[in-house]
Amino acid sequence: MAKVTDIVLWDKPGERVLLLGNQAIARGAIEGNIAVFAAYPGTPSSEFTDTMALIARKNPGVYMEYSTNEKVAFEAALSAAWSGLRAMTAMKHVGLNVAADTFLSAVGMGVEGGFIIMVADDPSMWSSQNEQDTRVYAKFANVPVLEPSSVQEAKDMVKYGFELSEKFKHFVILRTTTRTSHMRGDVVLGELPDDIRNERRRFGEFKKDPERFVDIPAHARKFHPKILEKIEKIREELNNCPFNWIEGDENAKVGIIAPGLAYAYVKEALAWLGVKNVRVLKLGTPFPVPYGLLEKFLDGLEKVLIVEELEPVVEEQVKTWAYDKGLRIPIHGKDLVPRVYEMTTRRAVTAIAKFLGLETPVDFEEIDRKYEKAAKIVPPRPPSLCPACPHRNTFYAIRRAASLRAIFPSDIGCYTLGVLPPLKTVDTTVAMGGSIGVAHGLSIALNGSVAEKEHKEGKDKKVIVATIGDSTFFHTGLPALANAIYNRSNVVIVVMDNEITAMTGDQPNPGTGETPHGPGKRILIEDVARAMGADYVAVVDPYDIKATENAIREALKVDGVSVVVARQPCALYRIGQMRRRGEKWPIYRVIEEKCTGCKICINAYGCPAIYWDAESKKAKVDPLICWGCGGCAQVCPFGAFEPVDGGEKDE
């Protein structure tokens, strides 16, 4: 069976293959002759980034890097586009916030080679802290958006996006959602360009032009009028975009406008409702809406419904244009389509049924009642840190060293699950790198800086222990750490270094020293902390809980900024590597005679491999998911856990 990377690289034009949406985008990138790709991984965009990394390992014609954050990635790819190369960057929607400074400032400079910004939105926040709509950013910046309705379009839009970008020397956004990124579908492969086929690495040429590339006010003032002029020319161009079309009953009196994946839901809803006498405007370009095609679509219609996810981006454009033209046609949108959470067939059916005055084919409210009844019967399954996760040990050690009276700012990563019982060692989480910034702010607000004469001492001093991951530390933790040290904060920062970017799929980061093109230069977190001037730095193995606890206790004694690096590879990654090598690992069991039933291993430590046996009133270990970290043996006050032979299990 061929590997996905091999399939994505197949030089078989016309071949039909099954691909994930993100993998199809990667195929579109190489069909579009991409030369440079830079990204920071973020779900739901991660598989695109990882596929590009695999491509770069096999094909020297593509340079790919895991950048330290989205802003850095944006600037690396943008510079390549300035140099005449086709380039892309990718991120999740909140990653665009990190890149926004460069994004909004540089748009007026334009590009020479095609430049596409792939942004994966996450309606319903399946793996995100908000559900912002990237199309609003695009409208703000006057950057056109391509939004696929299928996996095939996800691939084809990339090549078109490069061409559109080069024609107008302008940025282009490819906006996906969790559903488009993660759905699978048939894709017909196109031709590979000679540079990719021949594995030819390309190099660009940067032509100096200070009036264009130096964004001082005198130059920037000239940009804005040009941007506005350019976006209107692009709007005109999109009247002939192959991803925009009108379909359905030409004589219909009602119409539906559906951008991106909403089009697929609308088609499904219309089929379910049995409705045929309707006209549909399918938009692959939600911004800017092509007004020429819109005018043709609206001709003869008596009312219109706009079905789109999240913000009324298309709705506002259509209503504004219709008002300016003096059209008195009723245009519905967010009065019938919810503004929150992702689109579903049910939502599309409900909205269209109300719009057309029809009954829904099923009683959705009755289904809800049955679901709620069933939900009360099924036991809840909250998310949990993996068995043998080193973060569990670190959190446990923090609790013992600092007590629950301390304040625990944390960050974005697997370790955010420390908010759940029994660990309960996460009090705040806002954004990448926010743990250190918040910890510093709390220190100043509650204790004052170390430099202040009224700095609190003794019993009144609030203990603040921040936690942050290794990849996040390099992403946006560095400026916050510098700020805390510079302003004489009084905090303990625990960097949970599992030697991989685990939450988004085991990508490398500067702390690993690995790159898609071979070994890079490894940067040790403790070296950075010392160089910045941290007042105390220690490195511990969280599998040694006592040593970790002692290091944190020592850090708490220091008047200043302390950095404790808790380093142990991600358990899931480690076990995966051991399985591939055929290696064994110990598993643990409970010695029943020693178990008193105190439940400390369950109520305080909370490893999912440990469960309570109601019949024997003893703790038990599930050997299928025990990965041998030995934390249970260190936590149990009665020595009731012992290692036994383990190893590869039958799956």
Q: What is the mean pLDDT of residues 249-278?
A: 93
The predicted pLDDT at position 2 comes to 67
CATH of domain 584-644: 3.30.70.20
DSSP H helices in 32-92: 46-58, 70-82
Q: Domain 4-238: which topology?
A: Rossmann fold (3.40.50)
Q: Return the higher-pLDDT residue of 505 and 51.
A: 51
pLDDT tens for 415-461 read 899 898 899 999 999 988 899 999 999 998 888 888 776 556 655 78
Selected from 3.40.50.300, 3.40.50.920, 3.50.50.60, 3.30.590.20, the CATH number assigned to the domain covering 244-364 reads 3.40.50.920
Examine the pLDDT at 650 and tell me if it is beyond 80: no
* 244-364 against 584-644: fold identical: no
Supply φ then ψ for residue 353, to 5 degrees.
-60, -45
CATH 3.30.230.10 for domain 390-574, yes or no, is no
pLDDT tens for 363-389 read 888 787 877 877 778 777 778 899 999
Q: What is the mean pLDDT of residues 64-88?
A: 93
pLDDT tens for 118-147 read 999 988 888 888 889 999 999 999 999 999
Residue 635 Cα distances to 48, 70, 620, angstroms: 41, 40, 14
Instruction: Provide the percentage of residues in the chain whose pLDDT is more than 90.
Output: 72
Strands of the sheet containing 561-567, edge to edge, are 465-469, 491-497, 561-567, 536-540
Q: How far apart are CA 435 and CA 431, in angstroms?
A: 8
**Which two three-digit tokens encode residue 633?**
């043996």
Of 317, 315, 306, 402, the residue nearest 355 (C-alpha): 306
The predicted pLDDT at position 571 comes to 87
pLDDT tens for 14-55 read 999 999 999 999 999 999 999 999 999 989 999 999 999 999
* Pairing relationship of beta strands 536-540 and 561-567 according to DSSP bridges: parallel
Instruction: Provide the percentage of residues in the chain whose pLDDT is more than 70.
Output: 98
Where are the chain's structural domains? 4-238, 244-364, 390-574, 584-644
Q: At what angle do helices 434-446 and 478-486 cross, to 10 degrees?
A: 20
The predicted pLDDT at position 510 comes to 83
**Which two three-digit tokens encode residue 143?**
């950057």
Q: What one-character DSSP code corresponds to residue 477?
A: I
